[in-house]
Structure 1
Amino acid sequence: MFHVPERYYHWSYVWIPIITGFVWYGTLWAMLITWLAQGRPRYVSQDGRIAYISDRYLRHSGRLLPHMRRREKVFSTLAVLGAFMGGCGLILLSIFDTKRYTSAHRAFLLVFMIGVALSAIFTIIEYHWIKKDFTFARELRIAYWAKGIIAGTLIILSIAFAVTLYEATDAGAVLEWLIAMLFTSYIWTYFYDLHQSKGVRKGELSEYKMRQPNIA
């Protein structure tokens, strides 16, 4: 029977954020390059000169630092729900185009952005509390600050985008592209998170063992 060395176990999932990020990033560049190559055509739904984009298992299996209190589990669940909400918004805004269903498209865009923002906020809060329990974990602090800085920047840019969407369409288009590109970086931070499980056996970092560090 084929046996995969334990040091390679994490490879089956640790690359998912990297692949996802490249697919997202590649899609954005393909859309942008196509628009530029066509001579920057003005779409029927376009107001300004620039076109808008629109024309958790490892922690619970003991391979990442565990939740030590109920509050981390609550924030983890809320983060998943926020991500689900954002995913639904993204699917629906791609179905309802901005020309024929302008109001619906913008509403689902808002749902997507709010869902992703809530997921990021709850994830950062979750990491904040885990970080307090494991002050020695340098990797966890790096992940916490990286997510916090990127998510904070995205939220600020999203607020600016919401304002310029109606007041300055070209600026709004630039911000939308910038937000989408920067979102790739947020996705890639999860590669760093998952990579921390490298070489860690299942159950090695379980809550029970972390509460009783003398257990072999």
Structure 2
Amino acid sequence: MWYLGSWLFPVISACMWLGMLLAMFIDWEVIGHPIYPSMEAGQKIAYISDVGAYGLKPLFITGSVITTVFLDLGFMAERWLRHTGRLVPNTSFAQKVLSVISIIFAVAGSAGLILLSIFDTYHHPRLHDGFLLLFIGGYIISAIFLCAEYQRLGIHYRNHRILRISFYVKLSFIIIEVIMAVVFAATSFNSQKNVAAVFEWLVALIFTFYILSFLLDLLPSVRSKHHVPQGWRDAELEKGRNGLSTEPDAPVTSDSAGPNQNMGPEDDVSQGYRGTTMTNGVGAGAGAGYPNNHSDVGGRKKWGVGRFRR
């Protein structure tokens, strides 16, 4: 059933992440922009971690866990679907290595997000900042390796535009997130906390679109009445280019049993049959089966027809 496919993983992850962010922002807005104990003097805009360190900490932890678990499942599903052929397969061992490395860094980023939600900024400020760096860095490095894999896939499968689109979407995420992360870090260390808080919210929102970009990768694997999985369709086209039948059970040739397919019990093998070596009928001996002279070879070729030889 197409509606229960792996494409649901990024949808669930993105919905959970965006829903959590909206709930936290609306709560902070509705209760009148409170100044939390973790906020510094002069800071009026709360960080996400400031809101998540207090009344909404259970939501922050739950949302972080669900978001990262389903996102990582999306990473693993993409790897598995390429391995099994529902998505166009990798064409080299290097591409598989890039994919595995991207999964490893994605898991590291997931661990960073879960741990920073548990070790909040008020009670564990140093640990919280370290896990925040792990979260952002892990997913950015993961996206870099994923882009490298897709760049190589796009070169080989030029007929699949979706690979190039996914590559450019993820590349845009890397560029934008790196720029915003640098601005966020610079304003945080320069005590411009309000500017830093705004950029933190923006970085989190853009991460939602990165999660949704995996729909571009997983949707082509869906099998429905009107859609063939990307890898299967490509395999059929490859068979067509090689002159092979695209029917899964069709034989490669029309006479797969060989030249003896139509021989019956009445056929005498000693009389020769189509495909056997033509001889002069000499009996056993040193010259058995070999023509007496070269003109005899020509004569046998001229008068022999299939199995019926004189």
Q: Considering the TM-score relative to the shorter chain, is it more than 0.5?
A: yes
Work out the number of aligned pairs and report it.
Answer: 208
Equivalence map 1:83-122=2 (5 Å) = 83-122=106-145
In the alignment, the residues of structure 1 paired with residue 83 and residue 234 of structure 2 have an alpha-carbon distance, to the nearest angstrom, of 7
Matched AA of 2:159: F
Amino acid at match of 1:54: S
Pick aligned residue for 2:164 from 141, 154, 174: 141
Q: Secondary structure at the match of 1:59?
A: helix
**Could you list the per-position Cα deviations for residues 50-86 of structure 1 after superposition, in whole angstroms to 9, with x for gaps in the alignment?**
1001112111110111110111111101100010100
* Greater relative contact order (CA < 8 Å, ≥ 6 in sequence): 1
In the superposition, the TM-score normalised over structure 2's length comes to 0.63
Deviation at 1:12, TM superposition (A): 2.3
AA in 2 matched with 1:24: W
Mean Cα deviation higher: 36-45 or 91-100: 91-100
> Aligned partner of 1:120: which letter?
A
Q: Which AA in structure 1 matches 2:156?
A: D
Question: Residue 104 of structure 2 corresponds to which residue in structure 1?
Answer: 81
Q: Say if 1:78 and 1:119, in contact at 8 Å, map to a contact too.
A: yes
In structure 2, the residue matched to 1:176 is 200
1:138/1:115 CA distance change after superposition, 3 Å: same
Q: 1:50 aligns with which of 35, 45, 49?
A: 45
User: Partners in 1 of 2:34 and 2:209 — Cα distance?
Assistant: 29
Using a 3 Å threshold, how does the CA distance of structure 1 residues 68 and 154 change in structure 2: closer, same or farther? same
Instruction: Provide, for residues 158-179 of structure 1, a one-character-per-residue CA deviation record: whole Å limited to 9, x for no partner.
Output: 1111111121111110000000
Residue 18 of structure 1 pairs with residue 18 of structure 2 = no
Structure with higher Rg: it is: 2
- RMSD of aligned residue pairs (Cα, Å): 2.1
The CA deviation string for residues 117-144 of structure 1, in whole angstroms up to 9 with x for no partner, is 1111111111011111111111111111
Hey, what's the Cα distance between the residues in 1 that align with 2:154 and 2:196?
A: 36
Letter in 2 for 1:185: F
Greater fraction helix: 1
Structure 1 gap segments, 5+ residues each = none
Structure 1 residue 198: Cα displacement = 2.4
Question: Which residue matches 1:197?
Answer: 221
84 and 211 in structure 1: CA distance in 2 versus 1, 3 angstrom threshold: farther
Deviation at 1:146, TM superposition (A): 1.2
Which residue of structure 1 lines up, in the alignment, with residue 83 of structure 2? 60
What percentage of residue pairs aligned between the two structures are identical? 38
Show structure 2 runs of 5+ residues with no match. 51-75, 247-310
